[in-house]
Amino acid sequence: MPRITDKVLVLRRFPFGETSLILHVLTEKHGRVHLVARGAFRAKSPLCGLLDFFDTLELDWAQSKRSTMGEVRSGRLVTRRRRLTQDLTRYRTSLAALELGSAAAREGLPDPGLYHRLETCFDLVGVPERDPALELLSFDLDLLRGLGIAPVVELCAACAGTAAPVDAGGARAAFSAGAGGRLCRKCAIGARAQGGRVGTLGVEVLSAASVLMRRSVQERADLPPMPEELFRGLRDFVDRFLEYHLETKLRSRPLPVAASQAT
């Protein structure tokens, strides 16, 4: 049987039989892979205590052509991220990133970008000076960009023209997740006429998303804290956009209030 070695992050784990584990992992070079780790719960197994969430592992597995599931032969720890399991806010934040990574990872579709985004997110959420809530939001937006479906938040998503606010106060712009983002008045009317769902979003929320998407990892650390209500609006918008495009309900979201307030 061909042997494969790759770096992995554990996405999901299920007990199998008395002592074994089924693993869904995101690999650096082979996309999502499903594996069985026989005897992983035996105290004498070299895999015992190794196959944890959030850590970077290097696994060696045998992949039979007849089965979609590989069999783990050996593994070693590359990076332990213990801090993520020692603080409830950082733990929940990491689980939310993991759930999204799992929803986006496909079998048979190598996606090194997704692997590195998730690994970077775990690293940053573990840095005490970083705001975990802001790091998760940045991960979400970056993941959407990696999938080629980043929300269009400045110009009109349909005609690439200026998308002015649509209310008298100038505070809200037309927005449609299905159309890819912000819409000008004319395209909003057109989208509605074709049966599309078009709502409105605060211009402030769209501007905050734009700022965040243009900041590098380093620049993000220097951003002034966002007012809580604005952050909630942005968080809610990104969650709904993700759920629309990934066609799944993300169970770990919204995070408990304490997680969003962490600074």
- Minimum distance from residue 245 beta carbon to Zn ion (Å): 20
Q: Which is nearer to Zn ion, 127 or 189 (CB)?
A: 189
Sign of CA dihedral 150, 156, 162, 167: negative
Question: Rounded distance, CA 25 to CA 7, Å?
Answer: 9
CA–CA distance from 170 to each of 188, 189, 202, 210, 231 (Å)?
16, 18, 9, 18, 20
C-alpha angle 107/108/113, rounded to 5°? 85
Residues that bind Zn ion (CB under 5 A): 156, 158-159, 161, 184, 187
User: By C-alpha distance, which of 20, 27, 82 is closest to 60?
Assistant: 27
Cβ proximity to Zn ion: between 90 and 172 the closer is: 172
Shortest separation between residue 238's beta carbon and Zn ion, angstroms: 22
Minimum Å distance from CB 164 to Zn ion? 10
Of 156 and 203, nearer to Zn ion (C-beta) is 156
In whole angstroms, the minimum distance from the beta carbon of 94 to Zn ion comes to 38
What is the smallest separation between the CB atom of 199 and Zn ion, expressed in angstroms? 16
At its nearest, how many Å lie between Zn ion and the CB of residue 187?
3
Cβ 168 to Zn ion, closest distance in Å?
20
Place of tokens 């002034």: 224
Q: Which is nearer to Zn ion, 96 or 187 (by Cβ)?
A: 187
Nearest residue (CB) to Zn ion, 136 versus 184: 184
Residue with tokens 């929320």: 205
Beta carbon nearer to Zn ion, 49 or 199: 199
By C-beta, is 101 or 151 nearer to Zn ion? 151
* Assigned token pair, 72: 């783990």
Q: Are 93 and 125 in contact (CB under 8 A)?
A: yes
Query: Could you tell me whether strands 181-183 and 32-37 are parallel, antiparallel, or unpaired per DSSP bridges?
Result: unpaired
